[in-house]
Structures are given as C-alpha cells and as structure tokens.
Chain A
Amino acid sequence: MRARGKEIYIITAIVAVVLIVAWYFLLFSPKQRELDDLDQQVQSAQTALAEAQNTVVQLEAYKKTAPQSRAEVVRLGKMLPTSEGIPGLIIELSKTAEASGVSVTSIARGTTTPGTPYGIQALTLQVSGRYFDVEDFLYRLEEYVAFRNASFRVTGRLLQVTQLTLQAATTSESTGGSPPLAVTIGMNAYLWGGVAQTAPAVEDATAGGAQ
C-alpha cells in the first residue's frame, strides 16, 4: 500500500513535530538551562570581582597611609599599652605629682583584667596636698589623654578616676590657707588586648608609656 500525497504531508508534519519536541527537551532545554546557569555564575563572578577590586582600591589607600597609621598606633599604644608598664606609670605619676605640688604617699597595684578589645588595670593612689594642688593633680591626670579637634593629644596613659576620697590630714599645719588633705584616688588604667604581663620583660613597641 503506498501513501498518497496528503498522507505524506501528515507523516512529515508528525515526524517534524516529534523531531522538534525531542530536540527541545533533549538538546535545547538543557543547553538553555546551562546558559542561564552560566549567566548567573558570570554575574556573581563579576560582582565578586568588582567587590574585590573595590577592596584592593581601599587597601591601596591603607597602604599609602600605612606609615601614618603605624605612627598613630604607636602613639595610641602609649595610652593603651599591651602590657601593664607599671614602672612607666610610677614615673609618670611621680612627675605629675611633683609638678602639681602634691606628694604621692603610696601606689598600690590592683587587679588586672585582660579583655577584648581592652583590659582594665586597677590602681589605688594615695597623695597628700592642698585642695587646689589636688585639683591640679587630677587635671593633669585627665590631660594625659585629650581628644581635641578630632585627634588625640597623648602625653601619658589613659587613666580614669573611679573613686576619690578627700579628708583633712591628721597632721594639720597651721600655716594658713587650705589645710593639707589626705587623698585616696582609685583609678583604672586601660590595656589594649587580652595579654597581661605582671612583669613586662620585653616591652612592646606600642607599650611603655613614658618609660
């Protein structure tokens, strides 16, 4: 039996449709999906590249200012050292007391608690002097670190008075003016980072205060 003209066209159409459907599902569709995936990968890779390039630009800027940053870290390390630096602190406090006209009668080291980002080092100081000399002493302590015009002026450790007791000294001098006072100052000094050394054998470059 031979196919007639019309039947040939119908068979051709069916074969063509089958071919197209098979091509679509077996070749076109997977390839299209692969292309979409690649598109997405390219997009995310481009985003990652752009971010990385931005980071490089930022890092290049940091590299340019690295000398200033290093100097700043050393300067900031004077007020926030990585070790206790007790000898330097004693010298600082003694000089300040001398300049203020008060005398330091005792310096007692309290507990040191390392922490992240900063640790706390407690100190108790006993000084004797007249009211305004004590006030001057406290002012000088506060001025070790001063934040002025968006930058720090650092001349010593970052100290914070936490406790203050003023009382008339038992041995009064009758020289007129304000009587001598016995002053107890509880204060916190601050350390950078979690490392605490009771006896700093080797001082870090950023530590040490005015040693």
Chain B
Amino acid sequence: MKRINLLPQEERAKASRERGLIWAILILVAVVVVLGLVYVKLNSDANAKQDELAAIQAETAVVQAKIAELAPYAELQAQRTSMTETAKGIEESSVPFSTLLQELSLVIPENVRLQTLTATVPTTMLPGTALAEAAPGAATSTDVTFTGQTEKHRDVAEFMTRLGLIPQLMNITLTTSTDSSTASTTTTTTFKQFTVTAQLRPYTTQPPTTTLQTEVAP
C-alpha cells in the first residue's frame, strides 16, 4: 500500500527544519562532549604525571639525604685514591741513585779513579711545578759530572764508553782530559786529569704536579 503524506506543504517544511535543528544541536552537543572528554583525559594524564613527578622528587630527596649521610666515605675514598696516585707518581719519577752508583761501580775501568761525582736532578724530572718551569734549553743541561784521574787518555775513552752502558745516563760528553803531575820527595807521578759530564735520561711519564704556595723559611 502506498504511503501518502497528508501534512500540508508548509507543515512539512517546518517539520523538516525542526529535524535539521535537532540534528545540528545533537552534533554540536556531541562535539562538545567529545572535546570535553578529550580535555578531561588530558587533565587526568597531567595530574598523573604531576603525581609521578612528585613521587620521584620525594624519592630523590630521600636518596640525596642518604648521599649526604654517606659523603664522608666518598671523601675518605677520594683522599685514599689521590694519595696513592700522588705517591705512585713521585715514587716512579725518582732517580734511583743507588742503582746508578751500583752500575757505576760495575763499569768503571780499573785504571780510573774518581775524585768527585756531582749529580743534580733537573727540575723537569722533579715532582712539583716542573712542567710550568721547564725551560726550552733545559734538555742540554749537565746533570752528572765526573772528575777523576787515570793513566792514559784511552782510559778516559773507555770510561766514557762504559758509562754509555748505564741506562739512566745519556749524552756522555768529555769536558777535559789533561796531563797533570804530582811530585813527591822521591818520584814524580804523571796522570791524566779528566772531567766527563752526562745527562740523566728523562722518564717517559711526567712527574706529578702540584700547586705550590708561599715558601716557609727554615
């Protein structure tokens, strides 16, 4: 059976407009509700994050308090490490003079008699502020000086050659080797008076440095 709309044309348009208006209001309400829900969700997320942040900060404060409580142990450990490293650095940068003398006693030729031995450790090899004070020409300084007597110039040459066997020494240089004589009541003895210099071989690692304050006089 065919359905027939019995409403007049005017009423029909009015009803259509009212339906449209209802739909429009419904759509707007739906939009507002959706936007409101999204905003509520965001707000809830933000509150949750705030709470999480507050909890983390509270926990951090507790941990920081514990760190402050344990701080003396860190200072003790730092002092231990620092002292060990410093002492190790100083100990490693020492020139072993006992070894040097022992090696010298092994290499000195029989005919050579030493009169003086002078050794000065250059500042670049000493702990302290050596790095800052290291002069450009310091490498050519004389660190060890040997003076002595022998019978022949050849003995001086042999002495110099043998000094080269001592690992702590380098740049062995002859300063002088001259004829000398001593006269006694019965005889006159002639000998060669010599002076030989050498440098101490620098270490591959630099000695530890420090910041020195004003000196305290003795």
Contacts and interface: CB of A to CB of B under 8 A. Distances in A.
Interface of A: 2-5, 8-9, 11-12, 15-16, 19-20, 23, 27-28, 31-32, 34-35, 38-39, 41-42, 45-46, 48-49, 52-53, 55-56, 58-60, 62-63, 65-66, 69-70, 72-73, 76-77, 79-80, 108-120, 131-132, 134-136, 138-139, 141-142, 145-147, 152, 158, 160-168, 186, 188, 190, 192, 194, 196, 198
Interface residues of B, number: 76
A164 B98 contact: no
B119 interface: yes
Given A48-B60, A59-B67, A131 B101 contact: yes
Interface stretch (B1-9, B68-76, B170-178, B187-195): B68-76
Q: Is the interface of A mostly helix, strand, loop or mixed?
A: helix
B95 interface: yes
Contact of B213 (A8, A62, A115, A117): A115
A45 B119 contact: no
A48 B64 CA distance: 10
Q: Is the interface of B mostly helix, strand, loop or mixed?
A: helix
B121 interface: yes
Interface stretch (B32-40, B133-141, B150-158, B160-168): B32-40
Given A110-B218, A112-B215, A62 B70 contact: yes
B31 A111 contact: no
B118 interface: yes
B56 to A, nearest CB: 4
A128 to B, nearest CB: 14
B67 A120 contact: no
Interface string B110-134: 0000111111110000111000000
B212 A145 contact: no
Nearest to B66: A56
B20 A161 contact: no
B130 to A, nearest CB: 11
Given A35-B45, A38-B50, A163-B119, A5 B16 contact: yes
Contact of A167 (B27, B28, B42, B115): B115
Given A66-B76, A163-B120, A60 B70 contact: yes
Nearest to B92: A147
Interface centre among B76, B95, B217 (most CB of A within 10 A): B76
